[in-house]
Amino acid sequence: MKARGFFAPLGLSSVFLIAAGGITYAITGEMSTLPVTLIWVGLLALLLFFYTYFPEIRDFIAKRSTKYAFNTAVMSVVFMLIIGLIAGMSIKYKVRVDLTGDSRYTLSAQTIKILKSLKDDIEVVAFYRSDERTRQAMFDLLSEYSYHSSKFNFRFVDPDRDPTETVKYGITSYRTTVLKHGDQQEVVGTESENKLTNALLKLINKDIKVFYFVGGHGEKRIDSKEESGYGYLKEAIERENHQVRDLLLISAEKVPEDAAVLVVSGPETDYLSGELDKITAFVKKGGRVLFMVDPGGAPGLANYLGGFGFEIKNDFIIDKLSQVYGANYLTPVVVEYHKNHPVTRDFDLATFFPIARSVHIKEDTAKGSYDLAKTSDKSWAVSGKLTREDEEFDPARHQRGPLGVVAVTAVEVNVGDNLAGNNSQAGGGQDSVKTWGKILVAGDSDFVSNKFIKMAGNRDFMLNMLNWLAEENVLISVRKKEPGLTPLMLTAVQGKIVFWLSVVIVPSLLLVAGLGVTARRRRGV
């Protein structure tokens, strides 16, 4: 027994030697002489230990408690294998739930739509140090992009360890990400989905569309940062790789040939007949125009649009539903959209139109005529001047909602007529080629001013209309919201409830409870 007792430390020593060999291999990364020797000696010691103590090991295994322990160990191993299998499957088939109010950890619908439309490979190289604090944030973001498109491939490069790659791409600072598409490349400097998607758009969009905003009659200024200006709208358009320019129709010979969309934004005075003729000529050549006509502004423009089938009344829309969202009753809220039109098919955000007039067109699917956006049935239209009596609905004087605020139609254009005439004179013949001009009319121009563009879905709705007119359907979606404060809009009644609960009721109950406890203690109860 003493001789066999001499071999008792072999069991512990063998485990120690095998572990030491494994750790040495993990550190050096090579199966050199040292780790091989340690592991081999450890295995020999373990074999000698089992041979020496075989009777004791056999008796130990035969015990009932050992069998129970063995069964428990087997079940534990099986359980761990199941957990590992689930973890492995979750890497490939993962489902994430973003519970943040602004979905800051989920890609926007627009980004996903762009990724799914990729036809060519996009190579992304992110230059981050291995210990960079923000590296994981960019890795998570790029992983989401690649998850939605097999064409989007990325890799990370440590500039300190691989200076060759750094010089190759001309990188001069850390936290820099390069997107490559063929011979073109774009650089992004922060972990931002908006900037990454904008860089992606610049790579895949070959043609830059130009949006012209008409001026000269009191329209909204596209370069103004005042509350009534369109400075924020201009920035939003340019982020989607478009250009924005002013156009003075009165001095222009015609609408420029490179105009993708012509925008008339809330003129205060009427256009001259010559200016309207230039717009008509642009539409009849297949051009696209967005009119935003405020109540009481440019009455001649309403008559002009009536020639295309639009019914634009000189009225104001009152909507008591808007007060639920914290707006006044002259700011109708739109929650009803036409589901058969590309602009509004998948759009479900509320939009607000401060001081708007009703716009209607008779639905005609052949011409693409639709009322795109309507107010709720809680709204009504008031013609003429507003009075105190108009704040309550009167069926004898008011028109009940839903009321159209945005409408669209298409104008058929035969662009091949001139060619056909020339060919007929030469003895040949050619059928005319049909195409369509498009006109979209909104009963308000303030909803995308600097003051209101960030309200709910106003910005997205405007950009979707412009992109549809410019035939950029892949950009019609809901965009990523900038992270920031999310204000809670309360009505007057809700504000009073919060005040009474937090300032009066709860503190007074706590005060009474404290006084009661103090009184009972003094009485010795």
pLDDT of the residue at 15: 81
Structure tokens at 375: 């107010």
Side-chain half-sphere CA neighbours of 10 within 13 A: 18
Taking phi over 0 as left and psi of -120 to 50 as alpha, with beta for the rest, 216 belongs to left
CA–CA gap between residue 418 and residue 395 (Å, rounded): 53
36-39 contacts, C-beta under 8 A, 24 or more apart: none
Q: What is the CATH number of the domain that holds 174?
A: 3.40.30.10
Residue 100 domain flag: no
- For residue 173, the tally of other CB atoms under 10 A from its CB is 9
Number of domains making up the chain: 4
End-to-end CA separation in angstroms for the chain: 75
Structure tokens at 135: 């590296």
Residue 67 domain flag: yes
Residue 101 domain flag: no
Give the CA angle between residues 114, 186, 144 to the nearest 5°: 40
Pairing between β-strand 404-414 and β-strand 434-442 as defined by DSSP bridges: antiparallel
Cβ-proximal residues to 515 (8 Å cutoff; 6+ apart), any chain: none
Side-chain half-sphere CA neighbours of 431 within 13 A: 3
My answer on whether 241 and 388 are in the same domain is yes
pLDDT of the residue at 95: 67
My answer on whether 300 and 350 are in the same domain is yes
CA–CA gap between residue 410 and residue 368 (Å, rounded): 6
My answer on whether 52 and 82 are in the same domain is yes
Residue 75 domain flag: yes
Pairing between β-strand 359-361 and β-strand 310-312 as defined by DSSP bridges: antiparallel
Q: What is the CA radius of gyration of the chain?
A: 36
Q: What is the torsion angle, in degrees rounded to the nearest 10, for the CA atoms of residue 353, residue 356, residue 357 and residue 362? A: -10
- Provide the residue range defining the domain that includes 524: 490-525
pLDDT of the residue at 469: 94
This prediction's pTM:
0.67
Q: What is the per-residue DSSP string for 389-403?
A: GGGS--TTT-EES--
Structure tokens at 84: 């590992």
Answer yes or no: are the C-beta atoms of 405 and 375 closer than 8 Å. yes
Residue 276 domain flag: yes
- For residue 76, the tally of other CB atoms under 10 A from its CB is 10
CA–CA gap between residue 237 and residue 358 (Å, rounded): 26
My answer on whether 166 and 215 are in the same domain is no
The last residue of a domain, from among 92, 126, 153? 92
Say how far residue 371 (Cα) sits from the centre of its chain. Answer: 25
pLDDT of the residue at 481: 64
CA neighbor of 317 nearest in space, from 264, 373, 266: 373
Strand partners, 352: 333
My answer on whether 165 and 82 are in the same domain is no
CA neighbor of 398 nearest in space, from 377, 424, 421, 417: 377
Q: What is the CATH number of the domain that holds 276?
A: 3.40.50.880
pLDDT of the residue at 524: 67
My answer on whether 199 and 209 are in the same domain is no
Residue 485 domain flag: no
CA–CA gap between residue 310 and residue 416 (Å, rounded): 27
The length of the chain in residues reads 525
Helix H or strand E segment including 72:
helix 64-92
Residue 416 domain flag: yes
CA neighbor of 470 nearest in space, from 284, 259, 282: 259
CA–CA gap between residue 502 and residue 115 (Å, rounded): 47
Residue 415 domain flag: yes
CA neighbor of 193 nearest in space, from 157, 130, 148, 129: 148
CA–CA gap between residue 371 and residue 337 (Å, rounded): 8
Give, for all 525 residues of the chain, the pLDDT tens digit.
Answer: 454 555 567 677 888 888 888 888 888 777 788 888 888 888 888 888 777 777 777 777 777 777 777 788 888 888 888 888 887 777 666 666 766 665 666 888 888 888 988 888 999 999 999 888 889 989 989 988 998 899 999 999 999 888 888 888 888 888 999 999 888 888 988 888 888 888 888 888 777 899 999 999 999 999 999 999 999 999 999 988 899 999 999 999 999 999 999 999 999 999 999 999 999 999 999 999 999 999 988 889 999 999 999 999 889 999 887 766 667 788 999 989 999 999 998 898 889 999 999 999 999 988 889 999 999 888 999 987 888 888 888 888 889 889 999 999 999 886 554 444 444 444 444 455 567 899 999 999 999 999 999 888 899 999 999 999 998 888 887 676 655 545 555 556 677 788 788 888 888 888 888 887 887 787 765
My answer on whether 289 and 388 are in the same domain is yes
pLDDT of the residue at 163: 87
